[in-house]
Amino acid sequence: MYQMLRPLPAEEERFARLLETLRCPRCQGTFSFERHRQKQPGLGIFGVLRCACSERPVLDAIPVLVDKPLVARTHWSGEAETRGRGAAELCAMIRDGRGFEALLDAITVPIVAPHRLRRLLPLPDSIWESEPLLRFGGWLRQRQLLSRLKKPRDAQSARDWLNLFYGRGSPLSGALYNYFFHRFTQPRYLAALSLFTLLPPSDKPVLDIATGFGHFAHHLQNGEVPHPVIGLDFNFFPMWAARRVMVPKASFVVADATEGLPFPDGAFSGVTCSDAFHFMAEKTRVLEECDRCVDNGPVIFTRVGNAQVLPPDGPVELSPGSYRALFAGKTLRMFGELDLVKSYLRHLGPDLSHDARPDELAFDKYLSIVVFPDGELPPRPSFERWPHCVGVLGINPLYAARPRADGGLDLSLGDMPSKWFALQNAAALMYLPQRTTITRADLDAMKSGQMTPALGALIDRFVVIGMPSGYATPRADRPSRSGPSNVHEESPVSAA
């Protein structure tokens, strides 16, 4: 029995609501859904969606609406990095009761020889990347996955899954592990949280385009103003993990945002898209589709690369002037990242009173662009409770901890996880203290969901933050391998 794949609470209702909102990206028709029982017992929702023009698989409650095979794709160009199956083959497998096999393949990122081994054994790339070795790497990964899937959700963390997809021995390894694992207090993250205060309260969902591992879905879904979320991405495996370990209440869809959005007009109260718009070649199409699918709310593109500042972030970045031209005729505001971070630190949403000219943003590597489809600028929002304490309180995993004699912890920022991470997130030094301590009493308060003035002060400095339950360590108790200095332990109760 694969405990990790047991249906999630309220999964049926959520999937029914998602189906109502879904349209074929090609013919815009509605779908009917044939559910299929799978040979593997105890699985969630598997089946086939049908519209006038096509059939699409649903794997573990995630509709797959891409025409290309279901593979791992690079974030910036969409190139395939693994092998995968096409929609017709996946539908046939699901009809045949082999949905578990199809799912396993969709989340298999084969194990490849790490660079260190390649340096020690200098064989030609054609051997390291040969078919038999790749197949062996896929087989090894599936052994790993099978043992993981047998464990209950509570016994594994989001970090475990990030490690599997982006850690050593994965063809996707590189900066992505640090990028995702240490996402919550990056300057760009706080910039986005400031912008997201513009989203109006509504029963309609927010569409999070290029949702990745679901970090923002967690914030949107569980924030002070909770928004139902539909996450969309062309990569299946991060969304599958997002649904299973980050935001079980959100819905997810595999689709390519540049090929038309699979939703009807006015379906959303707002659209968010972080760290991805500049990777998309067909920006006008994406923009038109966002406009069509949003019902008066804002369309927020955050962390959009500026081609005028090197190094380039992908091949199709534009300059601030060209982004302006692309959005011509729309009511919009453009921001540099640092201004938004400063707004966040002052408990404020973005300042909409100033319409920044492209030359004012010439030296900002990362921009944010907010479009107001109804032409109205709302008043500047503010917030009482920090958005970064949404979820379960724990110590920011960027901090290393040493136990103190009194049972508290000495915390130090120390080295950043990598030089690239340090460069990209240098502005975090503006608000993260190098060293601090937490007393035993405050640790106990954090674990039992109590608030104390000292804990509040640590939240103010981003040393204590909110995370999805079981983000850095599993929710279920397990003996700590690193002894009492295992600070990634989290409080089981929501932050006050």
Ligand X SMILES: C[S@@+](CC[C@H](N)C(=O)[O-])C[C@H]1O[C@@H](n2cnc3c(N)ncnc32)[C@H](O)[C@@H]1O
Site residues (vs ligand X, CB under 6 A): 73, 75, 78, 183, 210-212, 215-216, 233-235, 238, 256-258, 274-276, 279-280
Which residue lies nearer to ligand X by CB, 287 or 455?
A: 287
**Min separation Cβ 82 and ligand X, Å:** 13
Across 255-297, the runs of DSSP E, i.e. the strands, are 270-274
Q: What is the C-alpha to C-alpha distance for residues 395 and 464, in angstroms, rounded to an integer?
A: 5
CB 465 within 8 A of CB 386: no
Q: Which residue is nearest to ligand X (CB)?
A: 212
**Min separation Cβ 416 and ligand X, Å:** 18
**Min separation Cβ 233 and ligand X, Å:** 4
Which residue lies nearer to ligand X by CB, 238 or 381?
A: 238
**Min separation Cβ 32 and ligand X, Å:** 25
**Min separation Cβ 467 and ligand X, Å:** 14
| Burial track 46-72 (b if 16+ CB lie within 10 A, e otherwise) | bbbbbbeebbbbbbbbbbbbbeeebbb
Which residue lies nearer to ligand X by CB, 177 or 279?
A: 279
Which residue lies nearer to ligand X by CB, 12 or 79?
A: 79
DSSP string of 217-265, one letter each residue: HHHHHHSSS---EEEEES-HHHHHHIIIII-TTSEEEE--GGG--SS-T
CB 30 within 8 A of CB 51: yes
DSSP string of 40-58, one letter each residue: STT----EEEE-SS-EEEE
Which residue lies nearer to ligand X by CB, 210 or 411?
A: 210
Cβ-based neighbour number of residue 482 at 10 Å: 9
In degrees, rounded to 5, the angle at the alpha carbon of residue 194 between the alpha carbons of residues 190 and 198 is 150
Which residue lies nearer to ligand X by CB, 88 or 281?
A: 281
Closest CA to 337 of 463, 427, 209: 427
**Min separation Cβ 92 and ligand X, Å:** 25
